Structure 1
Amino acid sequence: MTQPIHVLIVDDIRNNITALEASLARPDLSVLKAESGPAALELLLKHEVALAILDVNMPGMDGFELAELMRGSPRTAHVPIIFLTATAQDVSRTFRGYEAGAVDFLYKPFDSRILNSKVDVFIQMERQKQQLATQLATMQQLLDANEMLMAVLGHDLRTPLSAVIASAEYLSRFVKDENVANIGTRIKSSGMRMVRMVDQLLNLARLRGGRVTLQPRAVELATLARNIVEEYEARVGKGRIFVLRQGDTLLQGDGDLLSQVFSNLIGNALQHGLEGSSVQVRLEGGANDVKIIVQNAGEIPAEILPGIFAPYRSGRRQNESSGLGLGLYITREIAEMHGGEVKVRSSAEAGTAFEVTLPRIVRPHVGDHADLAQPFRLS
C-alpha cells in the first residue's frame, strides 16, 4: 500500500486551519495541524512532510522564524514552504519570505483552486520520491539476492569441479593409454575454463553490487605480469608469452584486482589471437602513469569493436565465443576503479592491442570510496 502524504498546516487561528483542511481534503492526503511554531517543529520530528503551509503572523515564533529553523535542520531543509497570510501585500515581506526558503507566498483571501493546484505539484513530487525509494529498495534486494546466488553457485560448483580437474590431471599424467590421457587433458582444460567462468560471474555480481573495494598498496606491475605469465605457461607452454618492461612500473593499486587485469587480457589474447601466435605484454612507465599493453596477432571484427567492453560480449562473433564475455568488462571496471582507462586498437596488419592506463596514485571516480585516495609516496 502507498504511504499517506503529509501536508503540514501551521496557523494560530483554528478556524483558518479548519478552512484549509477542508480545502485540501482528499483520500491520499494526511493533514497535520499545528497552532504554533514549537508545535509544528514537534510534528516535523515525527513525520515526513511533503509540504508546509505556514501563516506568517503568529505570536511567539512567527512563520519566518519557523521557516529559518526548518531550513537549518537537515531533516526538514528539503520541505517546500508556502506562506499564507492575511496581511496586506507588501513587497518587502514577500521577499523576506522567499529569503526564508519559501517556494511561494500567497495572500488571503486565496482561491482554493489555485492553492490546490500548487499543492498537487508537491504531492506528485512526493509520490515520485516514494516510488523511487521503493524501486531503489527493490533493486538493492535483487542485487543482494543475485550476489548471494552467485556466492552459493560458486561455492557449490567449486567442490565438484576440483574433483573433476584432479581426476582429469591423474588421467592425463599417469594413465599410459594415450587416448585416455588426451581425454583427461581435454577434461582438465574444460574444467579450468568452467572455474574461470564461475570466477567471472562472482566478480560481476560483486562489481554490480558495489561489493568490490580497493585495497591500495605499493604494487610492482612487472612482478604481477610475470606471475600471471608463469601460470599461463604451465597450461600453454613456454615461448608464447613475452613480457617487455620500459621505465618504472611501481604504482599504488590493488594487487589482487590488477592481477586479474593481467589474467583477463592475457587469457583473452591467447583465446582469440591467431592459433599458435605469440602474445606480447608491454609495461611502459611514464611520469604520472603506467601503461599495460597486451598485444596479439589477429583482428577484432569492426562490428564488434564498439561494444567490446560490454558484459557478455567477447572479441569474436557470438556463435564463435567459448566464454562468458565478462573478462574485458571486468578489466574496464577495475581500471576505472583505479582512476584509469582501457582502450583497444585492432587491424589486420598490426593485430589487436588492449592498452590499460593506470595512474601512479589511485584516483577513484566520483562516487567511489573517497578514502581510497590517501597520500602515497613511491620510493
Structure 2
Amino acid sequence: MTQPIHVLIVDDIRNNITALEASLARPDLSVLKAESGPAALELLLKHDVALAILDVNMPGMDGFELAELMRGSPRTAHVPIIFLTATAQDGSRTFRGYEAGAVDFLYKPFDSRILNSKVDVFIQMERQKQQLATQLATVQQLLDANEMLMAVLGHDLRTPLSAVIASAEYLARFVQDENVANIGTRIKSSGMRMVRMVDQLLNLARLRGGRVTLQPRPVELMTLAKNIVDEYEARVGKGRIFVLRQGDTVLQGDGDLLSQVFSNLIGNALQHGLEGSAIQVRLDGNAEHVSITVQNAGEIPADVLPTIFAPYRSGRRQNESSGLGLGLYITREIAQMHGGDVKARSTAEAGTVFEVTLPREPHPRSGERADTAQPFRLS
C-alpha cells in the first residue's frame, strides 16, 4: 500500500486553511494544518512533507522567516515552498519570497485549478521518490541476502573441499601406483580451482554489495609482488616469474586488496599464457603514479579483448574457459577503488600485457570511501 503524501498549510486565518484543504482534497493526500510558524515547525519535526504552502503575513513569525528556518534545517531544507499572500503585487516582496527558497509566489485571490496543477507536480515527485526508496531498499535486501547466501555457500563448500584436496594430496604423494598418483594430482588441481571459484564468488558479492572499503596505509608494491610470486613458485616451481622494479614503488593503498591484484594477474598469466613460458612483472615508480605491468607469452583472441574485464569472462573464448572469469573484473574494481585503472593489450609478437595504474594517494570513486573501520575483507 502506498503511503499518504503530506502537504503542509500554514495560515493564521482558519477559514483560509479550510478553503485550501477543501481545494486540495484527494484520497492520497494528507493535509497538515498550522496557524503559526512555531506550530508549523513542530509538525515538520514529526512528518515528512512533499510541499509547504505558506501565508506570508502572519503575526509573530511571518512566512519569510518560517521559510528561512526551514531552509536552515537539513531535515526540511529540501521541502518545496509556495507562498500565498493577499497583499497587492509587489516585485520586491516576490523577490524576497524566491530568495527565501520559494518555488512559486501566488497572490490572492488565486485560481484553485492553477494551484492544484502545481501541487500535482510535487505530489508526483514525492511519489516517485517513495518508489525509488522502496526499490532501493528491495535491492539492498537482495544484495544482503545474496552475500549471506554466498558466505554460507562458501563456508559449507570449503569443508568438504578441504577433505577432497587433502585426500588427493595423499594419493599423489604416498600411493606407489603411478596411475592412482596422477588421478590424485588431477583431483587436487580441480579442488584448488573450485576453491578459487568460491573465493571469487564471495569477492564479487562483497564488491557489488559495497561491503569492501579501503584501508590505506604505506605499501611497498615490490614486497607485495615478491610475496605473491613466492606463493605461486611453491606450486609451479622457480624460474618462470620475474619481478623488475624501477623508481619509488611505495604508495598509500590497501595492501590486502593490492595483493589480490598481483595474485589475480599472475594467476591469469599462468593459466592462460603459453605453457611453460616466462612471466614478467614490472613495477614502475618513476612518475607521479605507480604502474604494475604483468606480461606473458600468448595472445588473447581479438573478439575477447574488448570484454576481458567483464564479469564471468576470461582470456579465452567462453567454451574454453576453465574458471568463472571474475579475477580480471575484481582486479579492475580494486584498481578503480584506489582511483586508478587497468588496461590490456595483446598481440602475437609481444604477447599479453596487463597494466595497472595507481595514484600515490587513493582517490575513491563517487559513493565509495576509505576509512579505518574493519571492513569485510576479500578472501
Partners of 1:143 and 1:209 within 8 A in 2: yes
Per-residue Cα deviation, 1:286-319 (whole angstroms, up to 9, x for no partner): 2422211111111112222222111111111111
In the TM superposition, residue 368 of structure 1 has moved relative to its aligned partner by: 2.4
State which drifts further: 123-132 or 81-90: 81-90
Per-residue Cα deviation, 1:192-237 (whole angstroms, up to 9, x for no partner): 1011111111111111111112222222222221221222222222
d(CA) in 2 for partners of 1:372, 1:348: 45
d(CA) in 2 for partners of 1:160, 1:239: 34
Partners of 2:214 and 2:371 within 8 A in 1: no
Per-residue Cα deviation, 1:165-200 (whole angstroms, up to 9, x for no partner): 111110000000000000000000001101111111
CA RMSD of aligned residues (A): 3.3
Partners of 2:337 and 2:364 within 8 A in 1: yes
Secondary structure at the aligned position of 2:323 is classed as: coil
In the TM superposition, residue 129 of structure 1 has moved relative to its aligned partner by: 0.6
In the TM superposition, residue 71 of structure 1 has moved relative to its aligned partner by: 0.9
State which drifts further: 361-370 or 172-181: 361-370
Partners of 1:364 and 1:372 within 8 A in 2: no
d(CA) in 1 for partners of 2:14, 2:376: 64
State which drifts further: 34-43 or 248-257: 248-257
d(CA) in 1 for partners of 2:104, 2:355: 55
State which drifts further: 280-289 or 187-196: 280-289
Query: Corresponding residue for 1:162?
Result: 162
d(CA) in 2 for partners of 1:374, 1:212: 10
d(CA) in 1 for partners of 2:163, 2:210: 32
d(CA) in 2 for partners of 1:110, 1:213: 54
User: Which structure ranks higher in relative contact order (CA pairs < 8 Å, sequence separation ≥ 6)?
Assistant: 2
TM-score (norm 1): 0.95
d(CA) in 1 for partners of 2:141, 2:348: 46
Kindly report structure 1 stretches of 4+ aligned residues shifted beyond 4 Å.
370-379
d(CA) in 2 for partners of 1:164, 1:253: 37
Partners of 1:84 and 1:108 within 8 A in 2: yes
Unaligned runs of 5+ in 1: none
Per-residue Cα deviation, 1:121-153 (whole angstroms, up to 9, x for no partner): 000000011011111111111111111111111
User: In 2 relative to 1, CA 84–217 (structure 1 residues): closer, same or farther, beyond 3 Å?
Assistant: same
User: In 2 relative to 1, CA 35–221 (structure 1 residues): closer, same or farther, beyond 3 Å?
Assistant: same
Say how many residue pairs are matched: 379
d(CA) in 2 for partners of 1:73, 1:2: 27
Partners of 1:249 and 1:290 within 8 A in 2: yes
Query: Corresponding residue for 1:22?
Result: 22
In the TM superposition, residue 373 of structure 1 has moved relative to its aligned partner by: 14
Unaligned runs of 5+ in 2: none
1:124-139 to structure 2, matched below 5 A, reads 124-139=124-139
